[in-house]
Amino acid sequence: MRKSLPVLGIGLIGTGFMGRAHAMAFHNARSTFSLPAQLKLVALADADAARAEQCAQSWGFDRSHARWERLINDSDVHLVAITTPNHLHFPMAMAALEAGKAVYCEKPLAVSLEQANQMQCAAKAAGVVTRVGYNYQHNPMIGLARQMIESGELGQIISFQGEFSEDFMSDPLSPWAWRCDAAHAGGALADLGSHLLAMARYLLGDVESVCADSHTVHRRRPASAGSQQLREITVDDQTHALLRFANGARGTFSSSWLKHGYKNHLSIEISGTKGTLAFDQERLNELRVFRSGASGRDGFQRLLAGPSLPGYAAFCPAPGHQLGYNELKTLEVHALIQAVCGKGNDGPDFEEAWQVERLATAIRVAAQEQRWVALKEF
Ligand SMILES: NC(=O)c1ccc[n+]([C@@H]2O[C@H](COP(=O)([O-])OP(=O)(O)OC[C@H]3O[C@@H](n4cnc5c(N)ncnc54)[C@H](O)[C@@H]3O)[C@@H](O)[C@H]2O)c1
């Protein structure tokens, strides 16, 4: 007889870019992995009631809500996924934790360090699994990079160069949106930089101190598409920083949403005393590696993702066929479900996301006060 698995009820808040990505990832996780639970898509919430209902029907959720509080209080929901604008992460996650539910929250964790701290404390007190959507670190090629760093293959790590640039705000006539308001979001540093800071920590560990410069190039934007009315922009368009890691490595960081030509340029170059590795999310199935020693015949080697890497094989038995962005999200959901079912502990939780927010705050303060800032100040 077929042994039935425990049911894990999913509640998803938000139906935008990330709402759809989460819905796909929950669906795909069921067909890609042998999960330790039956995922049941219980409820979908969105402030736009008609859209919530239409998406619930087409994405296979049992019911929809216009008020997110009803989803959190739904006794069939065990795990709450939050994909709303940044300022809503705090009230939604706190309510879900209060109700004893596991929480899967999009990045950045919060709009202030104080909120992030309260969230990690509440998560600890609730004793539930939490995860934050730093999806890029679930890439099997990033796992390989981490392994190469930890095994000493690159020698002692001395340098990190990280950049996350896109161009979706490069047109000065791109209208104001929630991402342009400090109280609702936090600019290029929060939007893109949070991914890069999480990646820097994932690969190299703690940062001890930073200095930085932030710049708002387009200080006003149309209040809405085509409007003559202009609205003040209260966040950075681009931020550059220098980092000193606890392990002695030195680094650079930059995030921009104005850099023409770049669509998802999360790129890192890490150098050690024996070699260098380089990665660019726009070519997410590749890792370039240089190992010192082969004099006269040296050069970068291009490693291509294949089924020898954990994660890749679940999707495809053939090398070079390539994973994409949504597969990274599926790998993130897989790690989350494993953790919720007590079968693993991979992936960044609220405590790690609070550490990322500490680092982002240090960069913000360093830029405002034009000085080196030590992380221990926060
Ligand atoms: N991990 C990633 O790669 C990645 C990529 C993009 C965005 N994000 C993050 O995901 C979050 C959402 O971004 P997005 O691009 O999907 O935004 P979006 O604007 O496309 O979607 C936001 C959704 O939230 C809904 N919403 C707003 N207020 C609500 C409320 N009070 N109750 C219920 N629903 C409400 C909106 O109706 C919309 O469906 C942000 O935190 C963002 O930083 C992460």
Q: For 48-103, write each residue's pLDDT tens digit.
A: 999 999 999 999 999 999 999 999 999 999 999 999 999 999 999 999 999 999 99
- Measured in Å, residue 129 CA sits from the centre of ligand 1 at 21
Whole-model pTM?
0.97
pLDDT tens-digit readout, 282-330: 999 999 999 998 677 789 999 999 999 989 999 999 999 999 999 999 9
| SS3 readout for 169-181 | CCCCCCCCCHHHC
Confidence (pLDDT) at 310 = 83
Q: What is the structure's pLDDT at 297? A: 78
Higher pLDDT among residues 273 and 4, named by residue = 273
- Structure tokens belonging to residue 263: 């669509």
Considering Cα of 300, then 276, then 151, then 142, what sign does the dihedral take?
negative
Q: Which residue type sits at 274?
A: K
Residue 350 token pair: 């609220």
Half-sphere exposure of residue 194, counting CA atoms within 13 Å on the CB side? 29
Position 156 pLDDT exceeds 70: yes
Distance CA(176)–CA(96), nearest Å, equals: 30
Q: Choose one of 18, 55, 61 to mutate for the ligand 1 pocket test, by most ligand atoms within 8 angstroms of C-beta.
A: 18
Ligand 1 midpoint to CA 354 (Å): 20
Residue 28, ligand 1, Cβ within 6 A: no
Q: What local confidence, expressed as pLDDT, does residue 2 receive? A: 66
Which residue's alpha carbon is nearest to atom 36 within ligand 1?
Answer: 14
Asked if pLDDT for residue 186 goes beyond 90, the answer is: no
pLDDT of residue 1: 59
For residue 352 the two structure tokens come to 């790690």
Q: Tell me what pLDDT residue 22 has.
A: 98
CA of 86 to the centre of ligand 1 (A): 7
Q: What are the structural domains, with CATH classification, of the chain?
A: 7-135 (3.40.50.720), 139-377 (3.30.360.10)
pLDDT at 325: 98
Alpha-carbon separation of residue 71 from 39, 49, 74, 118 (angstroms): 16, 13, 5, 22
Per-residue buried b or exposed e for 315-327, using 16+ beta carbons within 10 Å of the residue's own CB: beeeeeebbeeeb
Tens digits of residue pLDDT in 351-362 = 999 999 999 999
Q: Which residue has a Cα nearest atom 5 of ligand 1?
A: 18
Give me the mean pLDDT over the 119-142 stretch. Answer: 98
Nearest CA owner, ligand 1 atom 20: 16
Residue 378's alpha-carbon distances to 107, 166, 358, 368, in angstroms, are 20, 29, 7, 15
Instruction: Work out the number of other CB atoms within 10 angstroms of the CB of residue 185.
Output: 20
DSSP 143-165: HHHHHHHHTTTT-SEEEEEEEEE
145 CA to middle of ligand 1, Å? 30
Q: What is the mean pLDDT of the chain?
A: 96
